[in-house]
Amino acid sequence: MLTRKQHELLTFIDRHLKDTGFSPSFEEMKAALNLRSKSGIHRLISALEERGFLQRRHHRARALEVTRLPDDIVARDAAAAEAPIAGAGFSPTVIRGDFGSKLVGVRSANEAGSVQLPLYGRIAAGMPIEALRDTASHVDVPMAMLGTGDHFALEVDGESMRDAGIWDGDTVIIRRTDTAETGQIVVALVDEAEVTLKRLRRRGNSIALEPANSTFKTQIYPAAKVRVQGRLVGLLRRY
C-alpha cells in the first residue's frame, strides 16, 4: 500500500515519462506535489525504490524508471487502451487519437510502430528553423513518443541543458507550435536571428530563457523579441 504522496509522485513520474520520454526534474516533482523542499522528493523516491515501484539509473541525469504500477493505474491505462478510437482505417502516418489528422512532413518507416521525422540539423545560433531544413535527412522515431500535430527533430549542440538530461549530440523531438506554457522546454527564435533550446519562463512583459546548467546564464528578453517555434516532446540518444 502506497501513501497518498507516494502514489501522487509515482503517477506524475509515469505520466511525465510517457509524455516526454524522460523523467521529470526534482524541481518539477516538488512543484507537482506542492512540497517545500527537494528532500521530501528524495524520501518519496527512496520509499518507492524500496517497494519496487521505481529504479534509478545511476550516473545518468534524471534517469528514473517505473518498474511497476499500482493496480488502479494499471486498470486505468488498460481501460484507456480498450476505449474505441475515432478515425478508423488510418495510414501509418496517422497517430491514433488524432481523429484522422496526419503528421505533416512525416514518412512511414515500417510497420513496427515508428515513423521518420525530418532532421533539420544541429540547433545553432544565427539560424531560424526554416534555414536548418534538410529534407534529405530523417530519423526513425517510435510513434508512442509522438502526439498530434507536426513534429521535427534537431540535434543538440552544446551542454546548456545538461541538467535537464539533454546532452550535446542528443536528438530532440519537437512538436511545432507557436505557444508554450511557462516551465516548458522550447525551441525559441530570439530577435528573428538566434535559435536556442531552453526552458521558457514568463515574467510579466518579459520572457526568460533558462538553461539547465549552472555555468550558463538565464537570458531575459522583451516578449516581443521571442518567438516560440516548437516544444520538446521527446529525446533520442545513441551510445
What residues are annotated to the active site? 160, 198
> Taking a C-beta distance cutoff of 8 angstroms, is the pair 205, 223 a contact?
yes
DSSP, res 102: B
* Alpha helices (H) in the chain, listed in sequence order: 4-20, 26-32, 38-50, 71-82, 129-132
DSSP H or E stretch at residue 221:
strand 219-222
DSSP H or E stretch at residue 30:
helix 26-32
Q: Which three cell numbers stand for residue 6?
A: 507516494
Q: Helix, strand or coil for residue 20?
A: helix
Q: Which of 188, 219, 232 is nearest to 25 (CA)?
A: 232
**Partners of 222 in beta bridges:** 206
Q: Which three cell numbers stand for residue 91?
A: 495510414
What's the CA gap between 122 and 169, in Å, rounded?
8
Cell 513534429, residue located: 151
Q: Helix, strand or coil for residue 14?
A: helix
